[in-house]
Amino acid sequence: MDDNRIIELYFARSEDAISETAKKYGRYCGSIARSILFSEQDVEECVNDAYLAAWNSIPPARPEMLAAYLGRLTRNISINRAAKERAGKRQTNASVLFDEVSEFTPDQRAKEPIDSVEFTDLINRFLSGLKPKARVIFVQRYWHMDSVDQIAKSLDMSISAVKMTLMRTRSELAKFLTKEGYTL
Amino acid sequence: MKDERKTLIDLGGIDDKYITEAEQAIASKAAPKEFSKRRRGRTAALISAAVVLVLLLTAALWLFLPLKAPYPDVSKYKGSDYYDLISAINVQNYRKDHPDEAIFINNYEKYLKSGKQKVKLQYVSTETDKDNSGKGPTAGLPDEEGQTYFEVTDNQTEGVIEADMFKRSGKYLFYLSDHDLLAYEIAGADTKLAGSLRVIDEEYIDYTEGFYLSEDCTKVTLIYSATQLDENHHKIRPFGEYTVICSVDVSDPANMKKTGKLKIEGESYTSRMVDGKLTLILSDDEKDWQNINFDDPASFVPVMDDGESIKCLPSDRIHAYGQMYYIYTIVCRIDESTLELEDSIAVLSETDPEHIYMTEDSLYLSGSYFDESGDYSVLKSNIAEISLDGEKFGFIGSALVDGYAKDKFCFDEYNGVLRAVMTVQNPVIVEKDVSYTLVDNASIYCFDANDMTLLSSVENFAPDGEVVRSARFEGKTAYVCTSTTLVAVDPVYYFDLSDPNNITSIDTGAIPGFSTSLISLGNGYLLGIGRGRNLTLGRYTPAFKVAIYKDVGDKVEEVCSYELAGSYSENYKGYYIDRENGVFGFAFTTDKWFPWHDGEDDPEPVEVPDKSPFEETPVYVLLHFDGEKFEESVIPLSDSFRQGGYYYLRATVIDGKLYVLNNDQILVIAPEFTKAIDHQRLSRIPNFG
C-alpha cells in the first residue's frame, strides 16, 4: 500500500492504519530501534510505542514522507529508552553513539537554553555543506544509528574509512557549532 | 553538563531529503555518484586491470616512440667509413641552422620535460695564459764541445720538452727572430752571430710555436702556422690554414739548411717533445660546416699532406664528443728525425683546447664554452684525455666541469689522478624570473685518469667574487692563489691531495698582492710572480711583485718579497728561473712611481712625489734569494731593446754572465753588474743597450 493510502487510513481512524504501517515499515522501525537498544524486548516495545505515537499524531500531522516520520518517531523513543538504560548502567548499542555525539553536544550550562529547532536548523545547514558521501555516512550513523560495520558494508567502504569520515565530520560540526556561538 | 540524548533527539530533525538520500544509498547498496569506489567482482577487476595496462602501454608508446627527425636524410652514406661522423655532423648542422627550434626525441621530451628559461647573460671572458711553472734549466753532461744540450725552457713536466724561441747548446745560443733562425756563439763580451737562416717562407704567418733542439744539438725542429689565400684573398680549402713542421740541420751553424717539411691542415696550438717523438696539437676550424659535401670526406674530415699526397684522417681516428661540433683538435705523433707522421687522432667538439697539459703518457685538452642547456648560461669546460702510450694512442674519455681554467698549470696528473683547478661561476638571482648575475669562485676537482670519472671535488672554496690567479701542484699538495680584480689580496690555499677521495684544505690567510705564476723551488718553497696590492682600476700603476712563500706545514707564509711599480710580461717563458742557485730574472718597464696603500674600490689618492727615480725605463731585474731575502740587480736596457715588447725576450746566465735576447738583439751583462744593487743607483748605471 502506498504511503498516501496509509495516511488516509490514519485520517479515517481505521485500525488498518497500524497494521498497514507495521506491514510496510515494521522491519524498518525495528532496525532503527535495534541499532540503539540492546534488548530485543526493548526493541519491540519501542516500535510499538512508535506506532502509537503515529496514531496519536496523524492527524493533524500529514507527513510528506511516512518512512522518515515513522523512523524519526522510532528513533526518538529508542533514544530515550537508551538514555534511561545508560543512566542505569545497562548496556545499549547507543553507548558508543552517545560518546561520539558528545563531541558536538552543546554544554547545558550555557547562559541560554539550547533551542532544539535552532539547533536542528544549524545541523541541516551544516549537512548541506557536506559532500554527499560524508553526509550519507553521518545520517546513517546519527539518524539511522547504524553501526560502523553496517555503514561500511552498505557503502562498499572499509571500516577504517567510515570511522575516519565520521571523525572528521564530527570535528567540522564542532567547529561549525562553536562558530555559531555554542559552547561545547 | 551535556545531554547527548537531546542531541540525538534533535538530530531526528534532519531534513527528510537527507534521510531519503541515505535510505536510497542503503537500499541500493551503492554509493552516490560522488563515490569513487564500487564493489567489483573478480572478473570486473581483471577487465579493469587489463584496460589500465593497455592504456599505460599506449601512453608509453606515444611518449617514448621516436619522433620523425626534422634533419636531412643521410642514409645513402651508410656504406661510407665516415657514416657515424656524417650522421653526427648532419644533426649538428641542423641544430646550428635552427638554434631556436626545439628538437625533441620523443613526446615525453616535447610535452613533459620542463622548458628552458632564458635569462640575460653576464659574460665573463676567459684568460688564456701560457705562463707556466715547471722544471728549471739543468746542466747537461759534459760532451763534445758544442754538442751538449742545455735545457733553458722551464717545462711544466719533467721529461716533456716544450718548444720555445730560444734553445742552447754548450757553444751556441739558438734564437728564432721573426722568420729567421739565429745562432750566436757563446763568448761573453765577444759573443757574435755565427749564422742565420730564413726558415719561414710563407707570407701570412698566423702563429709561431717555436722550435726544439735535438739532444745531440744537430737538428732544429721548427713549428709554425700559416694561411694560404687565393687571388681574391680568401682562404683556400683544404689547407687554407695549415701547420708546418720544418727540420733544420744546425750541426754547422754557419751553414744551416732545411732538411724536411711536413704540412698539416689546421693551426698549431702547441706541441711537446718526448724522447725524439713530437706530439703536435692543432686546431682545425676551417671546415665549412654549412657547405659540407658528404660525398667528399675532405670537406668534413681533417686532411694531411705528407709531400706525396693529400690524405684524409681515417674514420677510426676521429672521435666526436660534447654537445655541438665546431672544431677539430688534431693530435699528431711525428718522428723528430724523419718527420714521419706516425699516427694521428682527431676529436670533434664545440671548442678548441684553450689549455693543454701533457705528461709522458697522457694529453689533456681543456676547452670552455657557454652552456645554455639549463636555466642559466654559464661557462663550463670539457676536459678530454688522450693516451699517448704507444699502441694505446687514442681517446680515453672526457669530463664536463663547471668553470674554466686559467692556464695549463691548473692541471696536474699524479698517481693516476688528474687534478684540476677551475674558476667557477655561480648564478645569483637579481630579479626573480627576469635576470641573474654570475659570481666567481674557485673549485678543485680530482679525476681518475683511467677513464676521467670524477673522484672528488672541493667547490667554491674561495670568497665570492674571487678568481683563480695561479695554481701549482707539488706531488700530493696543491697551492692556489685567488683574488678579485679590484682588491689584490693573495690568499694561498693549501690543499692536501694525498687521498683524492678526501681533499682537505687550509686557507693560509691574506697576503697583499696575487701571483699570476706560482713556481715550485723545492723544499716547500714557492716563487710567486704577479702583482702587488695596488691594482685598482688603473688609477695607480700596477706594482710588479715577486715573493717567496714557504710551506710551514699547516699554512703558507711569505718569506720575502720584491715590488716595483711598472709593467711586465706574463709570458712565463720570458722569465729566467734558476732553482738550483735561487736566481730569477724578469724584463720590466718601470712607470711613474706612486706610493701605494691598501687597495679599496675607490681609494683615496696619496701625495705624489715631484720626481720619480725613473720613468718608463726598460730594465732587466735579477733577483737572488739567499734563503732569507732577495738581493736585486736592476740592469737598464735600451729603448730599442724593448721594441716589440718582452713577449719574445729570453735570458740565461752562463758562467756568471747574463745573456738577454730579444728580436734580433743580444745583450751580455758582465758579472759585476749582476750583483745586488738598489734602484736608487739606477741613474748612475751605464746603459749597455
pLDDT, tens digit (0-9, with 9 covering 90-100), for B395-441: 888 898 999 898 889 999 999 999 999 999 888 877 776 666 778 89
B31 contacts in A (CB within 8 Å)?
133, 155-157
Per-residue model confidence (pLDDT) at position B412 = 94
CA nearest to B7 within chain A? A105
A68 contacts in B (CB within 8 Å)?
16, 19-20
CB contact (8 A) between residue A136 and residue B32: yes
pLDDT greater at residue A77 or residue B139: A77
The C-alpha atoms of residue A1 and residue A21 are separated, in whole angstroms, by 9
Report the phi/psi class of residue A156: left, alpha or beta, with left for phi > 0 and alpha for psi in -120 to 50: left
Helices (H) and strands (E) in chain A, counts: 9, 0
CA nearest to A72 within chain B? B12
Please give the distance of CA B461 from its chain centroid, rounded to a whole number: 20
Nearest chain B CA: its distance from A164 CA (Å): 15
Per-residue model confidence (pLDDT) at position B273 = 94
Per-residue model confidence (pLDDT) at position B134 = 32
CB contact (8 A) between residue A133 and residue B34: yes
Q: What angle do CA B141, B142, B147 make, to 5 degrees?
A: 95
CB contact (8 A) between residue B37 and residue A117: no
Per-residue model confidence (pLDDT) at position B567 = 67
pLDDT in tens, B154-212: 888 888 999 999 999 999 999 999 899 999 999 988 889 999 999 998 877 777 889 99
A106 contacts in B (CB within 8 Å)?
2, 7
A104 contacts in B (CB within 8 Å)?
7
The C-alpha atoms of residue B401 and residue B355 are separated, in whole angstroms, by 14
Q: Which residues of B touch A (CB under 8 A)?
A: 1-16, 18-23, 25-26, 29-35, 37-39
CB contact (8 A) between residue A65 and residue B19: yes
Kindly give, in sequence order, each residue whose CB lies less than 8 Å from that of residue A130, ignoring residues fewer than 6 positions away: A138, A169
Q: Which of B98, B96, B522, B605 is nearest to B325 (CA)?
A: B96
**Beta strands B665-669; B166-169: pairing state:** unpaired
Q: Which of B177-181, B520-524, B670-674 has the lowest mean pLDDT?
A: B670-674
B12 contacts in A (CB within 8 Å)?
72, 75-76, 79, 143
Q: Is residue B615 very low, low, confident or very high in pLDDT (cuts 50, 70, 90)? A: low
Give alpha helix (H) positions in A38-89: 40-57, 66-87
pLDDT greater at residue A128 or residue B220: B220
CB contact (8 A) between residue A97 and residue B8: yes
pLDDT greater at residue A94 or residue A178: A178
B8 contacts in A (CB within 8 Å)?
75, 79, 94, 97-98, 101, 142
Average pLDDT, chain B: 76
Determine how many CB atoms are found less than 10 A away from the CB of residue B305. Answer: 17
pTM for the full predicted model: 0.60
CA nearest to A135 within chain B? B18
Residues paired with residue B192 on neighbouring β-strands, in sequence order: B185
Which residue in this structure is represented by grid cell 706530439? B279
User: Which 3 state secondary structure label does DSSP give A168?
Assistant: helix
Can you tell me the ipTM of this complex?
0.83
Grid coordinates belonging to B442: 674557485
Residues paired with residue B453 on neighbouring β-strands, in sequence order: B448
CB contact (8 A) between residue B12 and residue A131: no
Per-residue model confidence (pLDDT) at position B490 = 59
Q: What is the mean pLDDT of residues B610-625?
A: 68
Nearest chain A CA: its distance from B41 CA (Å): 12
Q: What is the mean pLDDT of residues B53-73?
A: 84
Preceding omega of A132 cis (within 30 degrees of 0): no
Q: Which of B526, B537, B648 is nearest to B577 (CA)?
A: B526
Whether pLDDT at B390 is above 70: yes
- Select the residue of B8, B23, B25 nearest A101 (Cβ to Cβ): B8
The C-alpha atoms of residue B590 and residue B618 are separated, in whole angstroms, by 6
Q: What is the mean pLDDT of residues A115-136?
A: 86
Q: Which of A24, A46, A70, A136 is the best residue to mutate to test the B interface, defined by the most B CB atoms within 10 Å of its own CB?
A: A136
Per-residue model confidence (pLDDT) at position B35 = 40
B6 contacts in A (CB within 8 Å)?
105, 114, 116
CB contact (8 A) between residue A106 and residue B29: no
pLDDT in tens, B567-590: 677 677 888 888 877 888 888 776
User: Which 3 state secondary structure label does DSSP give B468?
Assistant: strand
**At what angle are helices A16-36 and A66-87 packed, to 10 degrees?**
50
CB contact (8 A) between residue B11 and residue A120: yes
Nearest chain B CA: its distance from A161 CA (Å): 12
Whether pLDDT at B37 is above 60: no
* Cα-only R_g, chain B: 33
Residues paired with residue B558 on neighbouring β-strands, in sequence order: B549
The C-alpha atoms of residue B616 and residue B489 are separated, in whole angstroms, by 26
The C-alpha atoms of residue B99 and residue B265 are separated, in whole angstroms, by 29
CB contact (8 A) between residue B7 and residue A139: no
Please give the distance of CA B476 from its chain centroid, rounded to a whole number: 21
- Select the residue of B3, B15, B33 nearest A124 (Cβ to Cβ): B15
CB contact (8 A) between residue B38 and residue A80: no
A143 contacts in B (CB within 8 Å)?
11-12, 14, 18-19, 22
SS3 per residue for B53-65: HHHHHHHHHHHHC
Q: Is residue A93 very low, low, confident or very high in pLDDT (cuts 50, 70, 90)? A: low
A130 contacts in B (CB within 8 Å)?
none
pLDDT in tens, B294-349: 898 888 888 776 667 778 888 888 887 766 666 788 898 899 988 888 888 888 87
Q: What are the C-alpha distances in Å from B622 to residues B314, B558, B619?
A: 52, 19, 10
Q: What is the mean pLDDT of residues A69-78?
A: 89
Q: Which of A135, A149, A159, A160 is the best residue to mutate to test the B interface, defined by the most B CB atoms within 10 Å of its own CB?
A: A135
CA nearest to A79 within chain B? B5
Q: What are the C-alpha distances in Å from B668 to residues B233, B266, B639?
A: 44, 39, 16
φ, ψ for residue B522, nearest 5 deg = 90, 165
Whether pLDDT at B282 is above 90: no
Whether pLDDT at B226 is above 50: yes
For chain A, what's the residue count?
Answer: 184
- Assess contact for B592 and B617: CB atoms under 8 A: no
Whether pLDDT at B126 is above 70: no
CB contact (8 A) between residue B13 and residue A139: no
